[in-house]
Amino acid sequence: MKVLVGEDGFKVESSSQKGVFYKVKPEKPECSCPAFRFRYLRQAVVCKHVQAVQEYLHQRKGKVYEKILGFVKEIGEVDAVTLLERFGEEDVNELLRRGELLESRGKIRLLE
Ligand SMILES: [Zn+2]
């Protein structure tokens, strides 16, 4: 399913009507398609457009994590501030929380 990322958020193309796009807010979740309004409000089931965006975000996150882990692996031990500045606090902290990265005395390295 085609997921477009624009300034005003995510849009996913309808699978039955080419050229028709629905606006998706994955964090709410919310979608402008009729199925969402009908099903989510009644059964708390998200539509395939919301699922497509969630999947897209999941894959993109995976790539970011791979990049961070690859960077640390290459260097061996990275200054924590450098890593946070380069990749952002949120993603680095998540890897620390998961235990894939270890921090000691201001240095970050991979879990061996
Ligand atoms: Zn939808």
What does the pLDDT read at residue 38?
84
How many domains would you assign to the chain?
1
Name, in order, each residue with C-beta under 8 angstroms of 111's C-beta and a sequence gap of 6 or more. Answer: 99, 100, 101, 102
% of the chain at pLDDT higher than 70 = 100
Ligand 1 centre from 86 Cα, in Å?
35
What does the pLDDT read at residue 112?
73
Mean residue pLDDT of the chain comes to 93
Ligand 1 centre from 76 Cα, in Å?
44
pLDDT at 41 over 80: no
User: Domain range spanning residue 102?
Assistant: 3-110
What does the pLDDT read at residue 68?
97
How large is the average pLDDT for residues 32-38? 90
For ligand 1, a single-atom ion, the residues with CB < 5 A are 22, 31, 33, 36, 47, 49
Ligand 1 centre from 66 Cα, in Å?
30
Ligand 1 centre from 18 Cα, in Å?
14
Banded pLDDT at 43 (limits 50, 70, 90): confident
Spatial contact of 86 and 77, defined as CB atoms under 8 Å apart = no
